[in-house]
Every structure is written in structure tokens, then in C-alpha cells.
A and B are shown apart, each in its own frame.
Chain A
């Protein structure tokens, strides 16, 4: 997970690999630290994400809560078909994609 773009118009964070339980337990603090004090809408780039587990979804939802609290939006970009299916199953597609 890294910030690939950050200016007054957009904060773009890219993810890669599997967003599973192990990933979340190692990276959630870093993720929330990145979102703390943002000054622009956030886009999560999922181009290189191959798996999205339940705890990964939960982390994104917590991120959404944090970003909305600061008055901005959070969206996901470049999600592949498998990831889109997950969002469809959870009815989060309209909200996040």
C-alpha cells in the first residue's frame, strides 16, 4: 500500500496482492494514518489487488467512515471482475465504485 498521488484535488492510494486477514492486521494502522488529516477526496487503486476478504472490506468501510468524517469521499478504482463480484455480493458497488 502506497500513496501514489496526493494534492489538493485527490489522494490516490494503490494496493497490491491479497487484502486478507493477514494483510489487514499488518497494514490497518498505516492505512488509517494515511487517511488522517487528508484534504481531498480519496481514491483506492485496486488494479493489482487479486483477492478481497471480509476484513479487507471492513477496513475499507472504516476508511470510508474516517474520510466522510473529514468531509470527503472515498472511491475504488480499477477493480477487476473478481473484486467487482465481491462488491456486488455485499451491495457496496454503488457506494464505493
Chain B
């Protein structure tokens, strides 16, 4: 094999290998986004099933980082708790070793047959139900075939003088091997992929077992850096998952590096000795090194889940948005009694309703207004909570409802629609005032509008809770149609060019429109209080 042929074979091998990884990951992501997510959510309540799912997820996606970001999504969506996800994270590491063992053993004939059948299924399938499975099969076969090509091209490559010289430089250096491990993990997303590349280098005789072990052990430092960068926008509970992964990666690497230092320095047989005894083949030794490295956290972190979880909560406490997004009344258990479930759903809705006045506080100019919550935080948590109530109400409608419960259900559905509209309108109203450079000509109008809407909301909340005739009548009075009044306001301000600047005109129209709409929505809300009063 001449130099060009060697180079071409390796490039082809690398290309096929990465294509295989991509096909496999994307087909598995489809699966993960549909059924796997729901199953993980349900099964993680059992620690053994959680461990199994972690292993399966790592084995399928071939990246513990992929599992991490799936878990972040599940935790953010409240499908699983951080505490229940810890075994999944630990065991997903172990799952990633499966591919390495497949690669480490010489399965040339089996791989060729797999490529043949994988390609036929992949090529001839036209959107059948098994499409994801065929894609995954083809991805695995391409990946393994690519590795075979890479291996065959790497032997003559390793004989080249300058390549030998480059790796010889790192051969006797503990630090250089560690840095190579970190660097590889920074540029390649999958630890398993790096292990395979290291295997190729060792197969070609470019690096020895010591370097293999050091590179594998130290790549977690790189993973910690990557996770830190990728999660810089995360906060609160979602970030707890990332912090755990960083703690796990760094502590495992540090611990193993200390043990290896002792072993190398004093020549005491510990990990290196164990790996060298596992097989005489350097590729299989690499696979065992990877297995030990990935299994170590299971051994020492499995007993520390509770204290680690306490630490995670202290390091990254829930954000106010996460706190506000938690349901206070509705729960899975309360669905057993429909009458109670409906009362709880109503209480949850009122909890959202009482936040609207606090959103308006963000733009009230009155002195002494205590601003407790940012309107964007309120809006985001309301959206989440409204979805939770939607799901809860869907569960209720699936059961047999009595006539009186059906009436309450319809009322709650109407309120749900109103809450969504009010939330959106108030968010827009507050946003536009918050972001607009208010000129003197509009100062009074904005102050009167915000104070007026504020009193509307606190009166509506009182009427909703008390259901008293007086409160409801006052609410109906103050939520009368504001159309004619807003028309007057617009004409008055727009006709006086000294009072209003050109840039304020569209703001004035939008603001008065949102004001009018909010009052109209509140009037509709008032009508959802009446039936209970009449009863």
C-alpha cells in the first residue's frame, strides 16, 4: 500500500465511521423523542430500571452527553426528578462501552454481512414502521466497517517516520498523554468514538498501554469543560444534572489518575496490571480500560446519591421560574375523586390569575410598589402551569362526569382559554411599556392605564374568591366595554402633535388596544363567576 492509498483508506474509514455514528444517533434520537422518553419517565422511579435505562440509552446513543441532554429535557419538563435521574446518568456511561467491545473483537466477516443486509434494508425501506430500526442497523454496520478500514489503513500509516516521531514524543510523558485525552474529548463529542480512535492508534503501535489508559482516563476533564460550555445558559434544576455529570467525570478521572500515579511511580500492580492481564490484545485491553473507567463511578457514587443530591440543590437551587411552575394543588393522586379534582384544578387556575396583578407591578410608577417577580418569569411559568392544567383536565374528561361536574368542567375549560389569552395580553402590555422610552405626553395615560388594570385584577381576584354579589357587580362595572373611551383617548393624543412624538403613535395604538382587550377578557372572566353565585 503506497502513502496515497494508505491515506485514502484511512480517510474513507474515518468518513464511514462518523457517518455511521451520525445515522445511528439520529435514528435513536427519533426513538428517544417518542416512546423512550415516556418510558424513561415512568421507569426511573425504580432505581434498578433506571440503571437499565441508563445503560440502554448509553449503548444506543453511544454518548453519555446525549443522555445528559435528554435528561435535562425530561427534568425541565417535570417528567422525572433530578434524584431519579442520577442512576440513569451513571449507568449510561457503562452503556457506551458496548460498542467498544464490538469494535475490539475481530468480526470482519460478520461486519461485511451486516453492511450488506443493513444496506439492503436501509435502501429498500420506504417509510415503514421499522424504518428507525433499519436506519440504526445500517448506522452500526457502516460504523463498524469504517473502523475496519481505518484499522487496515493505520498500520502502514504508523510506519511513516514523521508519525512515529510525533507519538514517540508523547510516549514517555504522563502529562502529554493526559493533555491529548482532554484535547480529543474537546473536539469529539462521543467518548466511545475517542476510545475507538485510541484503539486505532494502539493497534498501529503508535501508543502503548500506559498512554491508552491515561488518554481514556483524562478525557473526562475535556467532557466536563464541554458540558460546562454547553450548559452555560441553563439554571436551577436543569443545571443540577450537568453539575452531577461534571462531579462524576472529574472525581472519577482524578481518583483514577491518583491510583495510576501510585502504580506508575512505585510499580505497585493495580489498574494497569489488571488491564494488561485482561487480554494480550491491545485493542481488547483498550476496551477493558474504557470499561473500568466507565464502571468506576457506579462503584463509588451509587452509595452517595442522597448527599450528592443535597449538594446539587445547594449549588444550583430551583429558579423562581421553576418554583412558580410547580403545581400546588393538582396531582396524579387527586384524580381518583373527580369532584375534588375539579376543585383543585380551579384553585390552580386562581393561582395563575393572582399573578397578573404582580406582572403589572413591573410597570407601575407609584412609589413604594414592591417588585417581587419579573413579568417574563411569571409569563413563562404561567405557560408551563397552564399546560399542566390542560393535561389534568384531559384526564378528568376521560372519566365519567356527573351533570354538575360536567358544568364545572365546562366552566374550568372556559377559564383555561381566558387565562391563556389574559396571560399573553398582559405579557405584551407590560413588555411594550417596559421597553418603550416613555415621553412626558404619555406619562399620565400610562400611569392611569396601569393603575386601572391593577385595580381591575385585584377586584377580579376578590370577586373570584368571595363570589359575593357586590364584588361581582363592581367587577362588571369596571370591566365595561372600553372601546368608546379608548377611541377618545387615541383621537385626543393623536390630534395633538406637541403632546406626542411620531415614534409614540404606534405605541399608543398598541398599548390602548391591549388595555381594551385585557378589560374585555376580564369582563368575560366575571361571567365565569356568576353561575356559581346563581347556584
Residues of A within 8 A of B (CB): 18, 20-22, 51-55, 57-58, 61, 64-65, 68, 82, 85-86, 88-92, 95
Contact = CB atoms under 8 A, between A and B. Distances in A.
Contacts of A20: 366-368
Given A20-B368, A54-B454, A88-B485, 8 more contacts: A20-B366, A54-B455, A57-B451, A65-B470, A89-B449, A91-B478, A91-B482, A95-B477
18 contacts: A20-B367, A20-B368, A21-B369, A22-B367, A51-B366, A54-B364, A54-B451, A54-B455, A58-B458, A58-B459, A64-B474, A65-B474, A86-B452, A90-B478, A91-B477, A91-B480, A92-B478, A95-B477
Interface string B338-378: 00000000000000000000000000101111000000000
B448 A86 contact: yes
B458 A86 contact: no
B452 A61 contact: no
Interface string B446-466: 001101101110110000000
B368 A54 contact: no
Contacts of B456: 90
Contacts of A89: 448-449, 451-452, 485
Contact of B368 (A22, A86, A92): A22
A61 B470 CA distance: 10
Interface in B465-524: 470-471, 474, 477-480, 482, 485
A32 to B, nearest CB: 15
Residue among B369, B455, B482 with the most chain A CB within 10 A? B455
Contacts of A88: 485
A68 to B, nearest CB: 7
Contacts of B451: 52-54, 57, 86, 89
Contacts of A92: 477-478
Contacts of B369: 21
B444 A82 contact: yes
A65 B473 CA distance: 11
7 residue pairs, one from A and one from B, having the closest CB atoms: A54-B454, A54-B455, A89-B452, A57-B455, A54-B451, A22-B368, A91-B480
Contacts of B366: 20-21, 51, 53-54
Contacts of A21: 366, 368-369
Contacts of A61: 455, 459, 474
Contacts of A54: 364, 366, 451-452, 454-455, 458
A88 B488 CA distance: 12
